[in-house]
Structure 1
Amino acid sequence: MTNALPELDLGLVTWLMGELWSEGVHPGAPQVYALLDGARDERIEPMIRTSEAEFICLYAGKLEPALSAAAPYLVHLDPNKPFTGALLDAGWGSNWGYFIVAPADVSLRQLRRHFRTLLKVEDFAGNPLVFRFYDPRVLRTYLPTCLPEERSALFGPCLLFMAETTTAGSLIAYPAVASASAEAGGHVRTLPSLK
């Protein structure tokens, strides 16, 4: 058995890494995390658990295997680790999750604490619902409709969310504070060779 990584789409991976680490990798630089929805693909949880990356499940307590496999996970990414390229290559275009850029002084546990406050919401009748904000399809639908205070509550300490779009080779970057010029509350960026 070999631990070799599959052949990566280096053009896509290089472009995504450039977008995610646009401020570089140095002390004090923003940190990049992936917020992954384990329910999107059975490969996600095993990939995270064998990654050697720092990660944490948003659900609390000891989980049954089926729930653990379908749970949302927050993973700290390092552009110099093989897992990051493998994740970008395997998950991009499949709505596995989205990426979070946070200040250097915000820890994985602080992000988890924040995101756990968003897991449950109530409908107009007061019935509890699970809010699947970690699914990029939900994010792309919900975020452009947010009022400023709702957007602030969703972002918490985060600076930026980046998600794939419905078009191959492009992403949408949502800053914590929306600008009037941003398309649907975000900025669409396209892989240069696809422009």
Structure 2
Amino acid sequence: MPLHDKTRKILVDTLLGQSDAGELGILYAVIDASRSPMTIPAALQAMTDKVACLYRGQALEEFGDDTAWVAAINLDESVLDWLIDNGFGKRWSIFLRSSLQLADIVRHLRKFTVIQDDQGTTHFFRFYDPRTLRQYLPVFTTEQRTAFFRGVHTWYCENDVRPNELLKFSTNGDSLLREAISLVPTQGTVCAID
């Protein structure tokens, strides 16, 4: 179901930083191609040359079109419109703001695609799923959060629990700030999470 025009405008303005003059850096989308593997990689590559696969080597060979992609969002391109129109509410992507260039942000994000648990077992970490980002950011240790936010000012994701919200995560010292931005004409709330 398409978003209401006012809802869509709030979402676009928030992500592009037009409603928050304090936003810094480039807007990036991290897109989970497994949500529509026959469509997402080809569409992204057709719309922009500022896109890169998050996986490489054996992982890329093994997972192919089911991998994650990172795209820089420019005002003059249709990538953001396409992601909102086709994937918002379907857990296609998360967004972030960074002053890093595309190659550097991809290099940074690749560090988090594979993690080890306390027993030393290796797992793929699908942080680019909005549900995963929403659940794990608040429970990261200070060290994990510092590493994850290195070079990233802000993370955004749809709220799968409350579909009329966009979640915005940033840090203030050792605290994680979580803001629920209403996608209907109301105010969001900010709270610190230790």
Does residue 93 of structure 1 match 2:85? no
- Which residues of structure 1 form unaligned runs of 5+? 1-6
Given candidates 136, 143, 154, the residue that maps to 1:149 is 143
Cα separation, partners in 2 of 1:20 and 1:53, compared to 1, 3 Å:
farther
Distance in structure 1 (CA, Å) of the matches to 2:119 and 2:84: 40
- Which residues of structure 2 form unaligned runs of 5+? 188-194
> What SS does structure 2 have at the residue aligned with 1:16?
helix
Distance in structure 2 (CA, Å) of the matches to 1:12 and 1:88: 11
How many positions carry a matched residue from both structures? 181
Q: TM-score, normalised to structure 1's length? A: 0.81
Question: Which structure shows the higher strand fraction?
Answer: 2
Query: Which stretches of structure 1, 4 residues or more, deviate above 6 A after TM superposition?
Result: none
8 Å CA contact 1:77, 1:84 repeated in 2 = yes
Match for residue 133 of structure 1? Answer: 127
> What SS does structure 1 have at the residue aligned with 2:167?
strand
Distance in structure 1 (CA, Å) of the matches to 2:54 and 2:165: 27
Given candidates 67, 72, 81, the residue that maps to 1:71 is 67
1:70-108 C-alpha deviation (Å, 9 max, x unpaired): 1011100013322321211211101112001112xx101
Does residue 16 of structure 1 match 2:11? yes
Distance in structure 2 (CA, Å) of the matches to 1:67 and 1:93: 24
Amino acid at match of 1:159: H
Distance in structure 2 (CA, Å) of the matches to 1:179 and 1:187: 16
Amino acid at match of 1:90: N
Distance in structure 2 (CA, Å) of the matches to 1:115 and 1:177: 21
8 Å CA contact 2:24, 2:98 repeated in 1 = no
Q: TM-score, normalised to structure 2's length? A: 0.82
8 Å CA contact 1:36, 1:98 repeated in 2 = yes
% identical aligned pairs:
25
